Structure 1
């Protein structure tokens, strides 16, 4: 029986969600209406989707181009079993996988490009994996594989892996240029080009973009930057394999949006002082915040937003060797200057709009008759009826460096009626990241792009200044807390893993078995902090006379643990049009090292793996016109050390670890139906019943539903495609869910629609010009994706205001794309 190795895989893709048809007696047959798609993620041997005994999804290049708007959420929300929240903008997408508790940011799911992780270890700081990479026209497809043996290979993950696969050059030179313009002042230029470098099997591919964006929310602070990606691909003359070198350069900054105060009853946006709906309280007026400290003058980089500047280089070598052996090697090195500067969702004390009298009363500053509120930039008095909003900026400097490597030896053999592809593999990574944080509080008005406000009051009884009748400044240039919180740490992690897996197959059966053992060693260097006096001026309130900074005292700690994963899966070709499958796995997730606490003796707390047990049983069915799947699943997570950012009640933010266990059962369905050669319908549904089974710090939470995880999620689309006209309408439904673990705040269900329509001119052979119109959030839904994570279980639904993050508003994009 002929073996299929990595080097011989030919990847052919169609639209998202299709489970390709399969003729069980011809393993890679191509039918007239349904081209097989080969999945290469999560295994060492590529397989068509219908012959994979696990849940798999793929999105093709054409679909990626239509779905891409700004963030990973635009693409990944269409995959069954994934909940993504893109309300924060282009980066730090909150991603959750079915059955697993998470506030998001790829905590369980590696984000990979071409088989290598964007960053090998999560939890050195809280930056999401997608801050390091952006999608562009150089992507061929994305694959999502979960369950089964996907937790064994490479970086591994029992929750599955997301792998974007880049185009490589071929003998046919191809190029694309795309110009994009959107309302709210967004302009973007993309390109991709590929082809042969010589006649000896050497190819190139290059892609990149530049964009400038003043939206989608009005802040006065733009998102802007560029990225270049490329690869050199060598096909060996004898057809035995290939060698590819990938490179990336990024210099980008993106604004990140946090929750805002909403109406407590309707959850709709509030009307600001200027009579307009408040979409964001971030402001360019805070872009030059600076103040004196004990170490010199501090200048906030808040206007930069999320900054990533740096590069990565990676390689993949795969080759068929003698005696039915094959070799697969991957390696990657990346180094980035990275900042994650953001406006928080309130001052950590009140967090909602206040009238001027209430602001004074809440802080014990006397009566309105003895106070003066003025604009910091002009000295003009603030109108008496204007609301105030006290807020914070969190400046986070996070340079990071990462190296990862993977080696696999695959032995193919026949034993009886079965073919075996046995993989012996190893994975190694070393990652290091800094996490330096400064919080500054300021006072502003309540409207879009708020101006900063200064407050001066008369200390009538001398309780603040010590001298009755003294005029005291509570803010200076709008700043009320010049560095109220400081943290600084450097964390590293080294991972080492070995694994063995066997992919077994005959005409009727497919079996997967494997085991992985991994250890992690982490180091923590954490500086202490101190409050220092920077002024003794009695005309300044005490909050302006002090600054929190580092004290030079370093707490050093080491943590380490190891664990194992084991997986098994089976698929039976019941008929030519129906496969049944089942898989089960025992895996692990290493706790985030940033959440490790030290005891009074300076010793780190216990550090142990978090065990994830999963099982799935399902069917995959396929004809020329219809393809689908139905799966039942169960997921149990034991002793997870969850880390949350919560307000400390004084304006600062602390990282709070919580030990918890969860369980989830559910059903997942997906299908695609070709109504005709021109019309296609696609749909998927995930229903999950989930609850906490353990919650150490508050046992009353046991039995509650997992936060921000709906029971029901549905995605549908209908597409029309001809040689000239094409149109697609996408719909996502997110069911009711709770904003926090206490289930004290329910977030209502919402629907999100996306439209893409275009007209194509075929100018010559292999030349096409497409003009398209895309509309994100077609009906301008105000659905709320989260409450305030910093309020945590303290947030309730009984207040006049509700702090939450709505989905981004409607946005219209015009694109002109030229393929040649």
Structure 2
């Protein structure tokens, strides 16, 4: 599967540059320059920024009948995000806890349309107008693994709903686009960021400018190494990323060719949760606080005694691998050709070939009573005692009341590379006093998803201070586990000892018409999506016994390998998305818009190993599933595409207040969708068993607000999202409150620039309560950050950032679980934001 991409990548990329083609994000060179000017000089464009993401590409925010927000790099740096997903909390309509850590693995919802299982099913992340991965919820390959904010990013722009459904694939909820500096303005900086009260160092750098007449370049990136804000006792964050581009402007002053490259080798911790104490009464969980001996704000279950594990690899051999969070290896080459024929015809092409691989290797957390393990059956014997397997108490009896018996996960992401090309030809024509813009495009992306999973059944002590592994013994003193592992590849059963190599080819012709009048514009667009699936998956076979220690042949442990049921994919699915919008220009400072959209997204690898693929490689029909025919046990056709219906009514305005300038965007929302997806975790499946299909209907209504205010040295940016979101499970008569979606989420960023002396910044992000699957309510909270930057010398700036200034235990409710509500206080589990930490930085600008 991979060979065909290698053989064609060079020729297709070259054709993509040479032929008259274009991208989904119609980024004109002037728009790139404007974005860079905003980032470089902090200029407030007051809704005059040209929208370049999933849009017409030649209209400003106030003239576009879509919900769109652009955040420049200075705002993001003031906000001090602790993870990629936490950046998205600055964007209205995007709902994510942002507590998964710098490695990623966040659930990113949008506009109250929840994430049924994991990942970002309705949100596409782009770099310079093209997606890094086609699907946002690839199992153990979520889209936030592959994109990192660094000094090369000028602006993060987000389009929610609307034209995201038709001008991008697999993104009916939103497109979030990282737009790069292009060297339109000469300059750059080097900044060293050093943890004051924790061990982590990051160096960010960028530089760009002219190489010759009509030839610009930009290059930058970051280096990072350390033990993270949670104080892991070994190097867990270890990353390098370098990105660059070079732009050749042609003699007409409008056409250009831009080449991109990226090289990244990253390793970052993903936070897997911690125990906590809380008050529990009348279904409400309040006063959430740290658990004795395991404070999730500053500790984790990553341990020097469990920083590696033995896995039974896909060749059937034992292999020792590190537990280092999420790692990525990426290289890509890309190109953007923009060509103008006269005054009214433009042709654009964006193309990229990426070589991507990586891994996910982490200790998950599950809090269980020790009594539930004693007396259980492990490897054919009854557990009578538990002893420390390593650490300072190695060999001693374990007598704690609670322990952690969750999985050690290692997934080998062998290949997640892709070839993507996006083409548009656009024309502008005068019709009386109006202008008609016609746009036709063609999108192509070939995505490989090749992985093998190794999910070991593990037992360790419940501690945030280098927890030791625990070995289990029977009454005769026979050891039943090895280094705390009681099973290889078998934690979630035969479903998840899987090996697969899948290919998905997405082709999509699309068209857009925009009729623009002095007082209004009308917008209609349509996209015809077709996805062809190929490749294979192999599930786990029968359980057998293995001896992990050659010196102890009598120590036999259960194992599963991927030698079970095989699925061969050979099917295609086609569907249509559309969007209609209208905008009324009440004045140059006020516009009102309305939009209706219906967008689809394809369920890719989550359709596999769930009884949805027939023996002949086709998707199973509902009739086949009911009859148990052709190897079918579940309907594959109906849920292969999830459709999202959205309706929007919005206002965009700007003006002057108290000598300063303000902008405001307010949008009323309503939406719904149905989703059927495979869930591997026992925590979400009925009866506590892993590997199930979850069918749900969702509906939501609410609003989103984004506002800015600038007055001299004062700058304010705020957003609020309200969602009344509900879920109806398959077979249920009624809708209930959707799990893990807050009614309110919000952020505020404020800074004051004291001339050439210093800049003081404050930011806050928070949310209201959420409910779990059982409708138990977890309270929300707010995290406040502070920053101070002092201009010590010309071009030299020193700074201090304080994250979580008030050291709140802000759980945000993402996947929070009630462990023991009968205890006083109750024991719960969840992932809080890191506690108060201080970082110093020094920046040299040039």
TM-score > 0.5 by shorter chain: yes
SS in 2 for 1:258: coil
Residues 1:505 and 2:516 aligned together? yes
Aligned to 2:785: 754
How big is the shift at 1:587?
1.4
Measured against aligned partners, the alpha-carbon deviations of 1:463-504 in whole angstroms (never above 9, x if no partner) come to xxxxxxx33113333322244252212222111111110222
Structure 2 Cα separation of the partners of residues 610 and 805 of structure 1: 29
Structure 2 Cα separation of the partners of residues 264 and 149 of structure 1: 44
Aligned to 2:334: 314
Structure 1 Cα separation of the partners of residues 296 and 97 of structure 2: 25
The number of residues matched between the two structures is 770
SS in 2 for 1:77: helix
Question: 259, 272, 290: which is aligned to 1:258?
Answer: 272
Instruction: Answer whether contact 1:472 1:541 (CA < 8 A) is retained.
Output: no
Residues 1:83 and 2:95 aligned together? yes
Aligned to 2:810: 783
SS in 1 for 2:478: strand
How big is the shift at 1:652?
10
Aligned pairs for 1:689-704 (under 5 A) are 689-692=724-727, 694-696=728-730, 698-699=731-732, 702-704=734-736
Distance 1:655 1:367, change over 3 A: closer
SS in 2 for 1:780: coil
Question: 179, 194, 201: which is aligned to 1:181?
Answer: 194
Structure 2 Cα separation of the partners of residues 224 and 282 of structure 1: 15
Aligned to 1:206: 219
Distance 1:150 1:335, change over 3 A: same
Aligned to 1:381: 396
Measured against aligned partners, the alpha-carbon deviations of 1:728-777 in whole angstroms (never above 9, x if no partner) come to 2111220111122x42x3221111112122112462xxxx2221111121
Distance 1:295 1:308, change over 3 A: closer
Instruction: Answer whether contact 1:14 1:37 (CA < 8 A) is retained.
Output: no
SS in 1 for 2:835: coil
Distance 1:623 1:805, change over 3 A: same
Aligned pairs for 1:232-271 (under 5 A) are 232-265=246-279, 266-271=287-292
How big is the shift at 1:718?
2.4
Residues 1:6 and 2:28 aligned together? yes
SS in 2 for 1:646: coil
Distance 1:474 1:268, change over 3 A: farther
Structure 2 Cα separation of the partners of residues 238 and 277 of structure 1: 56
How big is the shift at 1:426?
0.7
Measured against aligned partners, the alpha-carbon deviations of 1:146-196 in whole angstroms (never above 9, x if no partner) come to 2322322243622121011101123x5312100010131011111101122
Distance 1:618 1:69, change over 3 A: closer
Question: 614, 626, 631: which is aligned to 1:602?
Answer: 631
Structure 1 Cα separation of the partners of residues 517 and 466 of structure 2: 67
Instruction: Answer whether contact 1:725 1:758 (CA < 8 A) is retained.
Output: yes
Question: 569, 574, 590: which is aligned to 2:602?
Answer: 590
Residues 1:580 and 2:607 aligned together? no
What is the TM-score normalised by the length of structure 2? Answer: 0.84
Aligned to 1:24: none
How big is the shift at 1:261?
2.4
Structure 2 Cα separation of the partners of residues 602 and 123 of structure 1: 26
Aligned to 1:465: none
Distance 1:15 1:619, change over 3 A: farther
Structure 2 Cα separation of the partners of residues 367 and 516 of structure 1: 59
Distance 1:659 1:341, change over 3 A: same
Structure 1 Cα separation of the partners of residues 568 and 800 of structure 2: 55
Measured against aligned partners, the alpha-carbon deviations of 1:562-611 in whole angstroms (never above 9, x if no partner) come to 11111111111113432111111121121233234326533584234222
Structure 2 Cα separation of the partners of residues 541 and 452 of structure 1: 24
Structure 1 Cα separation of the partners of residues 743 and 304 of structure 2: 39
Measured against aligned partners, the alpha-carbon deviations of 1:420-439 in whole angstroms (never above 9, x if no partner) come to 22101010111011121111
Question: 822, 828, 831: which is aligned to 1:802?
Answer: 828
Instruction: Answer whether contact 1:412 1:422 (CA < 8 A) is retained.
Output: yes
Measured against aligned partners, the alpha-carbon deviations of 1:662-714 in whole angstroms (never above 9, x if no partner) come to 1111122232233x31223332222221212x421x516x3111121111122
What's the C-alpha RMSD, in Å, of the aligned pairs?
Answer: 3.3
SS in 2 for 1:63: helix
How big is the shift at 1:653?
7.3
Distance 1:232 1:780, change over 3 A: same
How big is the shift at 1:541?
12
Structure 2 Cα separation of the partners of residues 777 and 118 of structure 1: 31
SS in 2 for 1:75: helix
Distance 1:652 1:727, change over 3 A: same
Instruction: Answer whether contact 2:118 2:137 (CA < 8 A) is retained.
Output: no
Instruction: Answer whether contact 1:444 1:450 (CA < 8 A) is retained.
Output: no
How big is the shift at 1:335?
1.3
How big is the shift at 1:352?
2.6
Question: 95, 112, 130: which is aligned to 2:108?
Answer: 95
Aligned to 1:283: 303
Aligned to 2:293: 272
Distance 1:515 1:276, change over 3 A: closer
Question: 726, 736, 740: which is aligned to 2:769?
Answer: 736
Distance 1:292 1:424, change over 3 A: closer
How big is the shift at 1:814?
0.9
Aligned to 2:682: 647
How big is the shift at 1:197?
1.9
Structure 2 Cα separation of the partners of residues 264 and 395 of structure 1: 32
